[in-house]
Amino acid sequence: MAATAQDSQAPLRGPEKKDEDREDESANRCDSRTVSRQYEQHSVWSCLQVITKLLYLLNQGESFTKKEAAEVFFGVTKLFQKQDINLRRMMYLCIKDICPGADEVIIVTSSLMKDMNSKTDLYRSNSVRVLSKIIDGQLLAQIERYLKQAIVDKSPVVASAALVSALHLLGNNAEIVKRWINEVQEAAQNKNNMVQFHAVALLHALRASDRLAISKLVTSLTKANVKSPLAQCLLVRYVAQVIQDSQPGPNGEQRPFYDFLESCLRHKAEVVIFEAARAICNLRDVTARELTPAITVLQLFLSSSKPVLRFAAVRTLNKVAMTHPLAVTHCNIDMESLISDQNRSIATLAITTLLKTGNESSVEKLLKQIGSFMSDIADDFKIVVVEAIRSLCLKFPTKQRALMNFLSGVLREEGGFEYKKAIVQSILVLIQEIPDAKETGLGHLCEFIEDCEFTYLSTQVLHLLGQEGPKTKEPSKYIRYIYNRIILENATVRAAAVSALANFGAVCEALRPRIIVLLRRALSDNDDEVRDRATLHLQQLEGKAGGPEAVQPRVDVNLTALEKALSDYLAGPTDKPFDISVVPKAPPPLRGAAGGLGLPSASTTSGGGALPATSAARKDPTAEYAELLRSIPQLAPLGEVFKSCEPFRLTEEDTEYAVFCIKHVYEGHIVFQFNCTNTIAEQVLEDVSVAMDLADAGDFEEAFTIPLETMPLNGVGQCFTVVTRQPGAIATGKIVNILKFKVKEIDPGTGEAEEEGYDDEYVLEDLEVTPADYVKPTLLGNFRKAWEELDPSTEKEDEYGLGQREALQDAVEAVIGILGMQPCEGSEAVPPNARSHTVLLAGIFVGYQQVLVRMSFGIDAGNNVAMKLVVRAESLELSEAIHQIIQDA
């Protein structure tokens, strides 16, 4: 019975055991899948971290070696087996940034093309972007049909990616991309805003080199149904580009397409409204009638609840106020309410705009309002305020005391170097332009250097005190401030203070004994230069080394010619000593000029600071003439000279009169300086002037002349003729010049001139004003960055044949000489035996508008040189002007 019972119970435990084993097995499988999933997620996460770190290194400027890049690339391509979306996106970024070589691209192409045909829009769009980045023209032809299909894809993400990729491909594969024009035009009718935006941009890029084609495109798009606000903004910019070349009609007719811009002012999207208003404000030679609707819209934006609209409006009005202050005056009430705006950037722009448009009676009120928030804004906006105050002071000289006191007050507050430099430069300009402000400004600068942490500004102020202090009514009061610098400051400032004290001793004879005592104390200074300067100036003041006048020696040679002569002397081996007599002399002081001032030394700038001996300074003679032009009362109101050109001879050699012309370009004027010499001892020439026939230079109008009282015999005297033009305009033309004077014969018996003479005239050579006269060289630290910051729509490209040259270097030097711009990054030097070379040039057009040039040269076996010229500027007009310079050469 017992055995039977046991036997009967045994089968009951069998099924239970099997169920338990089955459950354990299922649990083990679940645990295994969980572990596998967790492991896979961990591996994906690790890959994401590694790729992120690699991309970070690339974006920080690190570069991989070819071997490292290949290892990373092959490692990334293995991840195509993973289907994780985030990982796939990082893979795309990594492949684009590494940019594999031609041998490696083929490996990843098949995977990317597989993604192009995926059902996932994210894969399709990103694979298109990656392919456009890494493929060449041969591979592009193979996948062309896929890209054309992607442009008209139903998915906006894919279509937009294909259009952007086409924009990138256009640079090197223009002929292939142009075949997609039908698909692009179809995409321009897409209902998606982003697709339409990219399609319009691509349509314009396809016609960028053809002005007529762009005009036709603009005409068709203005009539089409462009609903995308972003695309509409692009269209507004293209319209502005087209009408930039047109001029208002003679009877006040509207420009072409102006009605379209005006209609955009009533658009539903605020961004389009603002873009249209800004385009109208930026039109060349815009009239008050054309400005009115744009100003009205911007005035409405001033009271908007959105800070971005208020900021955009007030910034645009701030720029308009520089050229059309009366048009902005209607907005003054609205801008006054923005002075207390919580956004200090808006408040700053509002107050500076009011400073430009306000009247003389509102100056004190505006200064009080500015002072309430100056400490709360960034230095960049403080500089804007300071520049506006400087302009206001030049506009209302009678308010110079209040404005100067404000500048001195903010000068004592905390601030960075650029901010303090802007204040000091403003005070220097006011001292030079407003005589009544000189002593007040010098006093404020003396207080500033008592507690100045910037060596550059201290030395600049000390230099100015040494130049202007001895000419004041009480020069002795400045000596204490200067000597304190010798006691308290660093070696650089001490050296500048020693030279400033020496100037006082040289000019003020009554102060000379006191200055000598102070300089002797500097003989024990622990710095070599300070001791050397003190020793030299003591010897000069005591008459042992040239006398007091040697402290401020006048260099009577042309410094530009001296530099060239010294360079030529050092270039070749010679045993002969350098002969300074072969260097041309500098012109003598201007007869009849205020204070008897002549040409300043090239070692000083108009601001009183030291001028570094750079190649830019050598090519730009503006600094040599700035002091002379400012010293003439009739020319001082014209403002600062932008550029002075090299002298141009208007008479043949060995003639009875020698006349050279120097063109001085201002914002709205050109001053023609004529250096005149009489070589006939039997005649005295008086009341000398140059009459200009402007029949072939219709953009100019003669303003006034400054005659020369007597033309010196075998010396140089100056007379001036001033013509006006539209401010900032690139006016050109040929000018006929006639030298007019009164002749008085010399009596051989007495050697004196007759009392009465007769009027006579002498025809001079024609003078031509070219676009090159409006550009001057400028140095750039980072050409590539400056190039990318300029608007690509201003780019203009063309090719030129330069004929046969002995070497590529000759062609480079010739073109640089024609353009008068500054070579950057040492690109002016052509490597030996090079068959091609690229030169980078930088310059500034009148109105301080930047222009950059890329010149690619090539020379063939027959020494024929070809040049590709690409220009970017702040406007398309300036880019075309550079090409015009080359075409006219």
- Banded model confidence at residue 241, pLDDT cuts 50, 70, 90: confident
Contact at 8 Å (CB) between 608 and 428? yes
Give residues with Cβ within 8 angstroms of 431, minimum separation 6: 437, 438, 441, 442, 464, 468
Band of pLDDT at residue 105, cut at 50, 70 and 90: low
- Poorest-confidence range of 155-159, 601-605, 666-670, 788-792? 601-605
Per-residue pLDDT band for 649 (boundaries 50, 70, 90) equals confident
Residue 422 class from Cβ within 10 Å (0-12 exposed, 13-18 middle, 19+ buried)?
buried
pLDDT band at 852 (very low <50, low <70, confident <90, very high): very high
User: Which H or E element spans position 613?
Assistant: none
Find the helix or strand (DSSP H, E) in which 675 lies: strand 669-678
pLDDT recorded at residue 5: 45
pLDDT in tens, 435-455: 778 888 888 888 888 888 888
Measure the CA–CA gap between 370 and 154, rounded to whole angstroms.
56
Q: How many residues does the chain have?
A: 889
Give the integer Cα–Cα distance in Å for 31 and 24. 10
Query: Which pLDDT tens digit goes with each residue over 523-559?
Result: 888 889 999 988 988 888 887 766 677 677 666 666 6
* Mean pLDDT computed over 484-496: 89
Residue 661: φ, ψ to 5°: -120, 135
Q: Which of 659, 647, 652, 599 shows the shortest CA–CA distance to 625? A: 599
Taking residues 698-712, what's their average pLDDT? 87
CA 716 → CA 273, 399, 584, 751, 762, distances in Å? 59, 40, 13, 21, 17
* DSSP, res 254: P
Mean pLDDT for 180-206 is: 87
- Beta strand pairing call for 648-649 and 643-644: unpaired
Mean pLDDT of 58-76: 78
Label residue 613 by pLDDT band (50, 70, 90): very low
- Cβ proximity of 402 and 366 under 8 Å: no
Residue-level pLDDT at 722: 92
In order of 15, 23, 33, 39, 409, the CA distances from 26 in angstroms are 16, 5, 11, 20, 84
User: pLDDT of 743-785, one tens digit each?
Assistant: 888 877 676 778 788 888 888 888 888 877 888 888 776 787 7
Task: Determine if the pTM surpasses 0.85.
Answer: no
Note the pLDDT of residue 443. 86
Pull the structure tokens for residue 592: 């009849």
Provide, rounded to the nearest whole percent, the portion of the chain with pLDDT above 70: 84
pLDDT of residue 608: 30
Range 229-248 average pLDDT? 80
Helix (H) / strand (E) element for 689: namely strand 683-693
Mean pLDDT to the nearest integer, 622-649: 81
Q: How many Cα atoms sit within 13 Å of 852 on the Cβ side?
A: 22
DSSP character for 339?
T
361 exposure class (CB count in 10 Å sphere: 0-12, 13-18, 19+): exposed
pLDDT, averaged across the chain? 79
Out of 167-176, 786-795, 871-880, pick the least confident.
167-176
User: Is the model's pLDDT at 306 over the cut of 70?
Assistant: yes
**pLDDT, tens only, 326-379:** 788 888 888 878 877 888 788 878 877 887 776 666 677 777 767 666 666 677
Quote the pLDDT of residue 777. 83
pLDDT of residue 604: 28
Fold of 644-769: Immunoglobulin-like (2.60.40)
Given this model, what pLDDT does residue 273 score? 92
How many CA atoms, within 13 angstroms, populate the side-chain half-sphere of residue 199?
30
Domain 773-888 CATH class label? alpha beta
Give the number of other CB atoms < 10 A from CB of residue 490. Answer: 11
How large is the average pLDDT for residues 821-839? 81
pLDDT, greater one: 655 or 456: 456
CA-based end-to-end distance of the chain = 129
DSSP codes joined into one string, 29-76? HHHHHHHHHHHHHHHHHHHHHHHHHHHHHHHTT----HHHHHHHHHHH
Res 213 pLDDT > 60: yes
Residue type (1 letter), 117: N
Question: Rounded to an integer, what distance in angstroms lies between the CA atom of residue 720 and that of residue 845?
Answer: 23
What is the arithmetic mean of pLDDT over 490-513?
88
pLDDT of residue 870: 92
| Mean pLDDT of the region 468-488 | 87
